[in-house]
């Protein structure tokens, strides 16, 4: 039996690095509304940990009904077993735990509520995951992924003076906290004269997390990602994720066949180049992760307008060592379109009351 957990506050928990950590309201609300999410791919005998069983059952049923109304095949969707923390100690036969992402907080919660240490990551392994999840991994990945048609750089700074000097040579820059959730922990510094809010945020991150990551500001044309899975040091490519954001926060994914998604991205880059970047990503991940991380992961990328040089691919904006909504979209694309019809295209959106699907 596998115990599944949707803990979307994972990235913030990595930054806090505490056994007892209370997520901000937005993270708790997302977990409450989408806690049922792992039930979409859980096996029949698996269990899904949620905050509220009734809420999870209701939202899962709403999703199930929505799928049926759109004429999609959904024979796999049956009522899963949802449990709360109070019931964990009474579970028997848990042989594996699959959270959205591993961090000290989720490990501590499981251990305190009766899940055997033998099926949890060790404290040392948790720390390895945390260090690999630091945004400096992007700076290590980029040199290994560059081609003639790519761009991108990222640098780590430990004090504001060095960062100011670097900005003078690059103009507008993006500064990122080492650990933060999507859409948070990122600031745009477009002027040499930083205001008090920018200065305060920067100094706070340097004090609490030890450094910041900085990169040039790029003229983004299109967001997308490549999703992977790492098992025993071997990285497998899962597929493309075409997603939308608003103010840096995730808003939705396209569901389609890989052929259709590649055609969409190949409006900007060639198929050969896309596959070349994928192969380089696999080699870089295997080199840098080794056996210290196991599970799903994603690399955010973007198409950039580089002025006179034209469109270029930024091959590694961010590495997410956890499950992503892109993995969810890949599963649903396969599950809801078993005949691999290239004309079949849908949009998956989180609209605040659960995962929604609608026609593109």
- Does 21 reside within a domain? yes
pLDDT, tens digit, for every residue of 317-336?
A: 999 999 999 999 999 888 88
Please choose, from the candidates 183, 147, 189, 131, the residue with its C-alpha nearest in 3D space to the C-alpha of residue 316. Answer: 147
Together in a domain, 189 and 233: no
Together in a domain, 235 and 331: yes
**pLDDT for 24 beyond 90:** no
Q: Choose the most confident range, by mean pLDDT, from 79-83, 166-170, 177-181, 280-284.
A: 280-284
- Does 271 reside within a domain? yes
Which element (helix H / strand E) includes 261? helix 258-265
Does the pTM exceed 0.85? Answer: yes
pLDDT, tens digit, for every residue of 265-278?
A: 999 999 999 999 99
Together in a domain, 263 and 302: yes
Give the residue with greater pLDDT, 248 vs 359. Answer: 248
Which of 216, 233, 257 delimits the end of a domain? 216
Q: Where are the alpha helices (DSSP H) in 178-217?
A: 196-209
Which of 97, 132, 167 delimits the end of a domain? 132
Together in a domain, 99 and 160: no
pLDDT value at position 102? Answer: 97
Distance, in Å, from the CA atom of 39 to the CA atom of 27, rounded to the nearest integer, reads 19
Split at pLDDT 50, 70, 90, the class of 338 is confident
Three-state secondary structure string covering 132-175:
HHCCHHHHHHHHHHCCCCECCCCEEECCHHHHHHHHHHHCCEEE
> Domain containing 272: what range?
142-148+218-359
Mean pLDDT of 130-143: 97
Together in a domain, 30 and 114: yes
Residues with Cβ within 8 Å of residue 151, at least 6 apart in sequence = 218, 304, 306, 312, 313, 314
pLDDT value at position 63? Answer: 82
pLDDT value at position 62? Answer: 83
**pLDDT for 78 beyond 80:** no
Split at pLDDT 50, 70, 90, the class of 73 is low
- If one counts every other C-beta atom within 10 angstroms of the C-beta of residue 90, the result is 8
**pLDDT for 353 beyond 70:** no
Together in a domain, 106 and 171: no
Together in a domain, 341 and 212: no
Q: Which CB contacts under 8 angstroms, 24+ apart, belong to 119-128?
A: 119/3, 119/94, 119/95, 125/292, 126/102, 128/292, 128/293
**Tokens at 305, concatenated:** 């307008």
Angle between helix 160-170 and helix 196-209 axes, rounded to 10 deg: 130
Please choose, from the candidates 198, 212, 229, 216, the residue with its C-alpha nearest in 3D space to the C-alpha of residue 98. Answer: 229
**pLDDT for 72 beyond 70:** no
Helix (H, G, I), strand (E, B) or coil at 335: helix
Mean pLDDT of 135-159: 95
Together in a domain, 196 and 117: no
Maximum pairwise Cα distance, the chain? 64
pLDDT value at position 252? Answer: 84
pLDDT value at position 352? Answer: 62
pLDDT cut 70: percent of the chain above it: 92
In DSSP notation, 58-103 reads: HHHHHHHHHHHHTT---TT----EEE-GGGGGG-----EEEESS--
**pLDDT for 284 beyond 90:** yes
Together in a domain, 62 and 125: yes
- The whole-chain average pLDDT of the chain stands at 90
Together in a domain, 212 and 98: no
**pLDDT for 60 beyond 60:** yes
pLDDT, tens digit, for every residue of 291-319?
A: 999 999 999 999 999 988 899 999 999 99
**pLDDT for 285 beyond 70:** yes
Tell me how far apart the terminal alpha carbons of the chain are, to the nearest angstrom. Answer: 37
Split at pLDDT 50, 70, 90, the class of 283 is very high
Mean pLDDT of 8-26: 91
Give the residue with greater pLDDT, 182 vs 156. Answer: 156
Please choose, from the candidates 216, 355, 242, 244, the residue with its C-alpha nearest in 3D space to the C-alpha of residue 298. Answer: 242
Give the total number of structural domains in the chain: 3
pLDDT value at position 213? Answer: 96
Mean pLDDT of 253-270: 95
- Does 137 reside within a domain? no
**pLDDT for 231 beyond 80:** yes
Give the residue with greater pLDDT, 180 vs 295. Answer: 295
Together in a domain, 226 and 351: yes
**pLDDT for 360 beyond 60:** no
């Amino acid at each position: 039996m596998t115990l599944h957990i949707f803990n979307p506050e994972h990235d913030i928990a990595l930054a806090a690095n505490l056994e007892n950590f209370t997520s901000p309201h937005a993270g708790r609300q997302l977990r409450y509304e989408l806690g049922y999410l792992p039930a979409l791919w859980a096996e029949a005998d698996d269990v899904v940990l949620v905050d509220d069983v009734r809420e999870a059952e209701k939202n899962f049923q709403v999703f199930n009904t929505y799928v049926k109304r759109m004429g999609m095949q959904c024979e796999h969707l049956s009522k899963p077993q949802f449990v709360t923390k109070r019931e964990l100690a009474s579970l028997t036969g848990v042989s594996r735990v699959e959270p959205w992402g591993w961090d000290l907080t989720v490990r501590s919660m499981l251990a305190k509520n009766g899940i055997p240490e033998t099926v949890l990551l060790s404290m040392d392994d948790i720390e390895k995951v945390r260090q690999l999840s630091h945004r400096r991994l992007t700076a290590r990945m980029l040199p290994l992924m560059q081609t003639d048609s790519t761009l991108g750089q990222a640098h780590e700074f430990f004090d504001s003076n060095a960062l100011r000097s670097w900005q003078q040579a690059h103009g507008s820059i993006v500064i990122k906290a080492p650990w933060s959730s999507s859409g948070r922990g990122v600031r745009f510094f477009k002027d040499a004269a930083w205001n008090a809010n920018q200065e305060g945020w920067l100094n706070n991150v340097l004090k609490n997390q030890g450094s910041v990551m900085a990169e040039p500001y790029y003229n983004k044309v299109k967001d997308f990602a490549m999703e992977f899975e790492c098992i025993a040091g071997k990285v497998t490519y899962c597929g493309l994720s075409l997603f939308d954001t608003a103010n840096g926060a995730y808003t939705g994914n396209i569901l389609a066949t890989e052929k259709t998604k590649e055609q969409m991205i190949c409006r900007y880059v060639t198929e050969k180049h896309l596959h070349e970047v994928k192969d380089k990503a696999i080699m870089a991940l295997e080199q840098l992760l080794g056996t210290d991380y196991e599970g799903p992961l994603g690399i955010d990328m973007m198409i950039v307008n580089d002025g006179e040089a034209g469109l270029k691919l930024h091959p590694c904006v961010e590495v997410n060592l956890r499950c992503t909504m892109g993995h969810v979209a890949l599963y649903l694309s396969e599950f809801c379109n078993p005949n691999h019809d290239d004309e079949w295209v849908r949009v998956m959106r989180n609209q605040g009351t659960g995962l929604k699907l609608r026609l593109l």
